[in-house]
């Protein structure tokens, strides 16, 4: 059993590769390094540098490395930026997924775990998001992920593809000091950058209808997320049935204010965050149920908020010292 991990040099992808390794399962990484880093790929793991838009490269990769299935994480992941770059977003996330599916069919690779997103829901009007919550994406990124799910479902009907899609919420933390979140848009890197630069982190709005007035979101540890991918792959490999989609959520959100308190504690840097005006379109609360994933993918929150912060900070400090 060996699996191809597209985007395996990224923050999440590199954790997925390590989760496979922990179970004794070989992987091959394909990544164009547009946002990933080759240093994140474990030593000895076969690495192919290139894009999922390159159909010939994909065919060659499947010929060189016979695999049982694919974990597909490669794509353009910045929802906010996607509004300014819709064509790029669709090319990377829709055309790229279509090209990958075609190469998989040609190679006879019929198992796929797809990296989807909470962005498919847009701004839900429910306290707890389930897989049945209406999909109303509000960015080209969210739309592209939903279209990706549709493409995969249609290919499953046409070609017998065994698949599941995992909808991520807010992924944080680190499972190893070798890999950290390098996104310029995610909360933890933004807060760490501010502290390391001697600036005060900022909260956008403290007058929401939440316990402390700040937005509540669903934060999950990247190592827990990675483990769920391996279980999904193992179940597909065994021919066991899976739902077409799963939310990987905590069922219980954390406020931005609580994040700031945990960061101050975890870093040892005392600060009082600046309060800025609300950002347009920010809902007060987005929290998801992970019940289906708990039933089928051994999904559970194995890390506390303090552990999420501590692991992320340790990885960031390790990177700064290299």
Same domain? For 230 and 185 the reply is no
pLDDT tens, the chain, 322 aa long: 799 999 999 999 999 999 999 999 999 999 999 999 999 999 999 999 999 999 999 999 999 999 999 999 999 999 989 999 999 999 999 999 999 999 999 999 999 999 999 999 999 989 899 999 999 999 999 999 999 999 999 999 999 999 999 999 999 999 999 999 999 889 999 999 999 999 999 999 999 999 999 999 999 999 999 999 999 999 999 999 999 999 999 999 999 999 999 999 999 999 999 999 998 778 899 999 999 999 999 999 999 999 999 999 999 999 888 7
pLDDT in the model for residue 321? 83
In a domain, 294, yes or no: no
Same domain? For 79 and 204 the reply is no
Phi-psi region of 177 (alpha: psi -120 to 50; beta: other; left: phi over 0): alpha
pTM here?
A: 0.96
In a domain, 296, yes or no: no
In a domain, 292, yes or no: no
Same domain? For 38 and 151 the reply is yes
Same domain? For 201 and 135 the reply is no
Same domain? For 24 and 122 the reply is yes
User: What is the number of domains present in the chain?
Assistant: 2
What is the maximal distance between C-alpha atoms in the chain?
57
pLDDT in the model for residue 283? 85
In a domain, 295, yes or no: no
List pLDDT tens digits, range 126-184. Answer: 989 999 999 999 999 999 999 999 999 999 999 999 999 999 999 999 999 999 999 98
Same domain? For 75 and 114 the reply is yes
In a domain, 23, yes or no: yes
In a domain, 266, yes or no: yes
Q: Give the domain CATH number at 312.
A: 3.90.25.10
Which residues have a catalytic role annotated? 141
Same domain? For 105 and 129 the reply is yes
In a domain, 202, yes or no: yes
Same domain? For 119 and 213 the reply is no
Domain that holds residue 201: 173-217+252-287+303-321
Residue pair 37/273 in contact by the 8 Å Cβ criterion: no
In a domain, 200, yes or no: yes
Q: Give the domain CATH number at 241.
A: 3.40.50.720
Same domain? For 51 and 183 the reply is no
- Cα(166)–Cα(297) distance, integer angstroms: 10
Q: What sign does the dihedral 299-73-309-201 (CA atoms) show?
A: negative
- Cα(239)–Cα(244) distance, integer angstroms: 14
Contacts of 203 (CB under 8 A, 6+ apart): 214, 256, 257, 260, 273, 274, 275, 276
Same domain? For 67 and 129 the reply is yes
Same domain? For 112 and 227 the reply is yes
Same domain? For 16 and 128 the reply is yes
pLDDT in the model for residue 280? 76
């Amino acid at each position: 059993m060996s699996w191809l991990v597209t985007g395996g040099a990224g923050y999440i992808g590199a954790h997925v590769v390590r989760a496979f390794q922990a179970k004794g399962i070989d992987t091959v990484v394909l990544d164009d390094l547009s946002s990933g880093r080759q240093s994140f790929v474990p030593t000895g793991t076969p690495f192919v540098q290139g894009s999922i838009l390159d159909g010939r490269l994909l065919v060659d990769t499947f010929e060189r490395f016979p695999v049982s299935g694919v974990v597909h994480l490669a794509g353009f992941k910045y929802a906010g930026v996607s509004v300014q770059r819709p064509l790029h977003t669709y090319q990377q996330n829709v055309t790229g997924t279509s090209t990958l599916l075609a190469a998989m069919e040609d190679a006879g690779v019929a198992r796929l775990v797809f990296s989807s997103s909470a962005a498919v829901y847009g701004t839900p009007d429910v306290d707890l998001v389930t897989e049945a919550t209406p999909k109303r994406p509000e960015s080209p990124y969210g739309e592209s992920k939903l279209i990706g799910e549709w493409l995969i479902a249609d290919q499953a009907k046409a070609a017998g593809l065994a698949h599941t899609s995992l909808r991520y919420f807010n992924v944080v933390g680190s499972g190893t000091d070798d890999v950290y979140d390098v996104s310029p848009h995610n909360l933890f890197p933004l807060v760490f950058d501010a502290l390391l630069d001697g600036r005060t982190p900022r909260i956008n709005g403290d007058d929401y209808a939440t316990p402390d007035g700040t937005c509540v979101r669903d934060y999950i540890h990247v190592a827990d997320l990675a483990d769920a991918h391996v279980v999904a792959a193992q179940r597909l490999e065994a021919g066991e049935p899976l739902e077409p989609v799963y939310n990987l959520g905590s069922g219980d959100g954390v406020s931005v204010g609580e994040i700031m308190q945990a960061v101050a504690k975890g870093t040892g840097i005392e600060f009082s965050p600046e309060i800025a005006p609300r950002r347009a379109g920010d809902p007060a609360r987005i929290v998801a149920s992970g019940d289906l994933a708990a039933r089928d993918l051994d999904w559970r929150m194995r890390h506390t908020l303090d552990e999420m912060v501590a692991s992320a900070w340790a990885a960031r400090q390790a990177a700064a010292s290299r």
